[in-house]
Structure 1
Amino acid sequence: MDISTHLLTTGIAVTLHLPAGQEPHPTIVLCHGFCGIRKILLPAFAEAFAQAGFATVTFDYRGFGDSEGERGRLVPTMQIADILSVVEWARQQPALDADRIGLWGTSFGGCHVFAAAAQDSRIKCVVSQLAFADGEAIVTGHMSAEEKSGFIATLDKMAEKQKTTGKTMLVAITRVVSDSESKAFFEEYRVRFPEMDIKIPFLTVQETLHYKPAQYAAQVTCPTLVVIAGQDIVNPPEHGRALFDAVAAQEKQLYEEPDARHYDIYSGEHFERVSRVQADWFRAHL
């Protein structure tokens, strides 16, 4: 397998994995989750797909990892634009088949792939795993009506203050994620990968609150596979089911790992099963 790294004119750092075999290759663009970088979690999937005969592209969103841009820049519409930039770059590579590009996204990236596919009709197929359907439900679903009202009012005041002063409150990633599994994950990985030890705007929470991936899923007509983990407390499985129901494509499939938690999918037996199912999906539709 041939592996090369590139910095796009947009400032996005990408890694291209080329499998053995005749060019041009069908290609999968892998889209990371919340504050993720391409050095973690994605390589195992990229290698599995390359072994299945696909070229793969992993990348860092602008503001993260090796990409340029303001550190911690986390706005869904901008990250979706990054995905589309990477797809367009892939179409220009002679070793890749411009007409056979699919999207794979996990967690936050699993939300973004719906919007990207809705905006780019040339995307051949989509795999979304561990995503959420409605940001408001994810952010405030555990709150009482009174707590929710007060929380949203606080965010609105912070947003208004930012407009008038130009100042942004930056906080550690662990201040933004609310579940114990994600806190533990980021605590572990920021030690192992110092480039993850960054601060992000607290108003990222407001961006997530207004994000409705199911609305984009309703515009996706290419073959779509949705993967959920039955014990996921980060993005509960009912969100994946809602995304699946929303997808407009005639060819769609819902796959569940019933005993898996959110981060279990990335290694071990859960990874082995899920990656095989996803590779089969790409073989059938890419």
Structure 2
Amino acid sequence: MSREESAWRHREGVDATTGEQRRPSRYEFSTVSVRFDSDDERCVGTLYRPDRPKNPPLVLMAAGFGSDREFGLPVYAERFAERGYAVFLFDHRHFGDSEGMPRNLVSPAKQIADWRAAIERADELDGVDADRLVLWGSSFAGGHVLEVAAGEPHVAAVVSQVPFVDGRSMTLGKGLKFAAKSLPLALADKLLSFVGRSKTVPVVGTPEEFAVINEPGAKTGFFDLVPSGSDWENETPARVFLSIPGYRPGTKTDEVHCPTLVVAGEHDELVSLSDVESAASKLPNGTFLRLPVGHFDVYGGETFEEALAHQFAFLDRVVGDPADD
């Protein structure tokens, strides 16, 4: 049985009794907390070490928009570790276990700096092969990995899943009414930031609610990823509306020279399929995969399994040496 076929075996799928995604046995990997500094603030992550091979490739991973690292990503990290890849899953500043005030601040520039600091920390990790470094990102972080990999010689491969690629296009798509409400809030928050305060807006809402993300189905899809018992709050400083329009990682894909897999959803509610396809077409060494699914489908069920199988096949080929099945 091939490695790609093995990802479709029954044991790799959804538990028939609980309906939950299968989680690998902890005998397949170990975990350890890892810290690093980004602009003098502490970031925290979890390193997943597989039981084999001895010196595995390293997948660097962080959460999407307004999210902690626990939002839908541990199951990805665990399955990669079971496959024989080390995974370093970290929280951006202002989120999860990492430092940074105000909480839940989304700053593309700061998060890109966090990724670069994490790459430097990866070079110091024992028992992993940092020369076979993979950047893995989904949604907002799917844009980050393209941005970071552009012109970066130390990255061996990139996996960008349902990626945010063009903030200008997304902002225009929300229309003038949305802009008329968001801009005054953003400016007010920016002014308050100078005295250490903030004006927050919801991260996610229904189409009838005002939120940074309020596309159909987004609220349900997002909250399905929030772990039970999480102390995360559905709010972010409104200054994010000032930074999103100028953040366009898809314009730099011609500078990403390492092998890159882009996974897009044909029915993505949040990011434009045509924008993603256009960005992927400029990759010098890119593979583009479109699935007939929505933005949040990749985090569970059959779509999770299908996306993961393609990612395994891609990474097995370009960085090699996963654990035997």
Could you tell me which residue of structure 2 aligns to residue 170 of structure 1? 200
2:53–2:84 CA contact under 8 A, matched in 1? no
Could you tell me which residue of structure 1 aligns to residue 45 of structure 2? 14
Q: Deviations over 1:259-286 (max 9, x none)?
A: x111111111101110010111111112
SS where residue 103 of structure 1 aligns? strand
Q: Deviations over 1:58-111 (max 9, x none)?
A: 111111011111111211111011111112111111211121101010000000
Q: What amino acid sits opposite 1:35 in the alignment?
A: G
Could you tell me which residue of structure 1 aligns to residue 262 of structure 2? 226
Equivalent of 1:58 in 89, 101, 104: 89
In the alignment, structure 1 residue 5 sits paired with structure 2 residue 8: no
Could you tell me which residue of structure 1 aligns to residue 215 of structure 2? 179
2:189–2:199 CA contact under 8 A, matched in 1? no
- 2-side partners of 1:72 and 1:149: how far apart? 21
- 2-side partners of 1:176 and 1:104: how far apart? 24
- 1-side partners of 2:281 and 2:192: how far apart? 38
Q: What amino acid sits opposite 1:253 in the alignment?
A: T
**1:60/1:239 CA distance change after superposition, 3 Å:** same
| Matches for 1:136-215 after TM superposition, within 5 Å | 136-143=168-175, 147=177, 150=180, 154=184, 157-158=187-188, 161-162=191-192, 167-174=197-204, 175-187=211-223, 192-215=228-251
Could you tell me which residue of structure 1 aligns to residue 106 of structure 2? 74
2:56–2:129 CA contact under 8 A, matched in 1? yes
In the alignment, structure 1 residue 256 sits paired with structure 2 residue 287: no
- 2-side partners of 1:150 and 1:9: how far apart? 38
In the alignment, structure 1 residue 110 sits paired with structure 2 residue 142: yes
2:143–2:165 CA contact under 8 A, matched in 1? yes
Query: Which TM-score applies when normalising by structure 2?
Result: 0.79
SS where residue 175 of structure 2 aligns? coil
Q: What amino acid sits opposite 2:125 in the alignment?
A: Q
- 1-side partners of 2:166 and 2:87: how far apart? 29
**1:265/1:188 CA distance change after superposition, 3 Å:** closer
- 2-side partners of 1:157 and 1:73: how far apart? 15
Q: Normalized per residue, which structure has more helix? A: 1
RMSD: 2.3
